[in-house]
Amino acid sequence: MTKRAPLSLLIFVVIYLVFLYAPVVLLPIFAFNDSAIIAFPLEGFTMRWFWALGEEESLFRALKNSLIIAVSASILSTCFGVLTARAIARHEFLGKRPIFGLIMAPLFLPEIIIGVSILIVLLQLGFSLSIWTVIAGHVLIITPFSVSILTTAFGNMDKSLEEASLDLGENRFGTFRRVILPLVAPGLISSLLIGFTISLDEFVIAFFLTGTDPTLPVYIWSMLRFPSKLPTVMALGFVLLVMSLVLLSLFEYFRRRSEKLTGGYGKTQHHVGQEGE
């Protein structure tokens, strides 16, 4: 019963996809192009920009900074996310909605506003800018994502599973370890992955809060001033693109598993009259 879409819609979709992805497709093309100038016609295939990447020592320092920040920020925001999601899914308390709203607010605020405000506050308080200030900024913007992913994971879990565990003699901690954790694990992993991805390519906040140790996006931005480095940036971009795709696929895989575990079978399901007797 599939109906064919009208031709006009089909054309619209094709144009839409071309505009969306053409620049992304150009990236790998120029990463392998044997010329320092980013322009057609192509000169020939080369891997030298990738080899050149290996010699950029400051690039590796930036990459290391970015990784430290991304790992720390995603772990921290996932921890906050677990606590928040648990509280939202299971408890009623005064000011639940306003608090939830405040936590989600960074999702809707322009990053530049967040970046500038944090910068002013930090400087007023006498903090010097470092990797830690960037981590703090990133935790602020990633936490809403963690909270929304984990609220779904916790909310989908049938409350009676916890009660069943208690009923069978397990204590609160054991229940968390043996029932809650395995069931929300896919949610935890997708929260970590999305946090990592967001932090890794976040530019605006990192730009404001970074001290002498730039993150990768900030470093790339600074490299763009030197036209001769441009193909190297393209190669780097290609590497990052592949990494993002892998991470996103992993994220989607775990998100689906999470849905299957907590949404599908944890809830009351009535297989009426399917008894195999």
Partner 1 sequence: MASPAPEKQTNPPSMVMLSGIRKSFTDVEVVKGVDLNIGVGEFFSLLGPSGCGKTTLLRMIAGFESANEGIIAINGENMNKVDANERPTNMVFQSYAIFPHLNVAQNVAYGLKKQGLSKEETKKRVDEMLQLVDLDGYQERPSYALSGGQRQRVALARALIMQPKVLLLDEPLSALDKKLREHMQQELRRLQRTLGITFILVTHDQEEALIMSDRIAVMFDGKIAQVGTPREIYERPVSQRVASFIGVMNFLKGDLIGKTEKGISIASDVFGKITLDANQMPSPLEPGAVTIGIRPEMMSVLYRDTDTADNRLNVKVTSVDYYGDMTFYSVAIPKSNDQVSVCMRNTVGRHVYQIDDEITIGWSNASMVILR
Q: Does 94 bind partner 1 (CB under 8 A)?
A: no
Phi and psi angles of residue 39, each rounded to the nearest 5 degrees, phi first: -165, 155
Stretch that binds partner 1, among 61-69, 141-149, 164-172, 241-249 (CB under 8 A): 164-172
- Binds partner 1 (CB under 8 A): choice among 168, 242, 246, 248: 168
* Amino acid occupying residue 255: R
| Smallest distance from partner 1 to CB 181, Å | 10
Size of the site for partner 1 (CB under 8 A): 33
* Dihedral over Cα of 32, 37, 39, 41: its sign: negative
Q: How far is the CB of 160 from partner 1 (least distance, A)?
A: 4
CB of 204 to partner 1, least distance (A): 40
Judged on CB neighbours under 10 Å (0-12, 13-18, 19+), 115 is buried
Helix (H), strand (E) counts: the chain: 12, 0
Q: Which of residues 181-200 bind partner 1 (CB under 8 A)?
A: 182-183
Q: What character string, x for contact with partner 1 (CB under 8 A) and - otherwise, covers 124-163? A: ----------------------------------x-xx-x
Please tell me the distance from the alpha carbon of residue 158 to that of residue 263, in angstroms, as a whole number.
Answer: 9
Stretch 235-264 residues interacting with partner 1 (CB under 8 A)? 261-262, 264
Sign of the dihedral through C-alpha 164, 165, 170, 172: negative
268 binds partner 1 (CB under 8 A): yes
Task: Give, in order, the Cα–Cα distances in Å from 212 to each of 50, 61, 119, 124.
Answer: 26, 11, 15, 19
Choosing from 164, 224, 245, 246, the residue that interacts with partner 1 (CB under 8 A) is 164
Which stretches of the chain bind partner 1, using CB under 8 A?
A: 158, 160-161, 163-171, 174, 178-179, 182-183, 261-262, 264-277
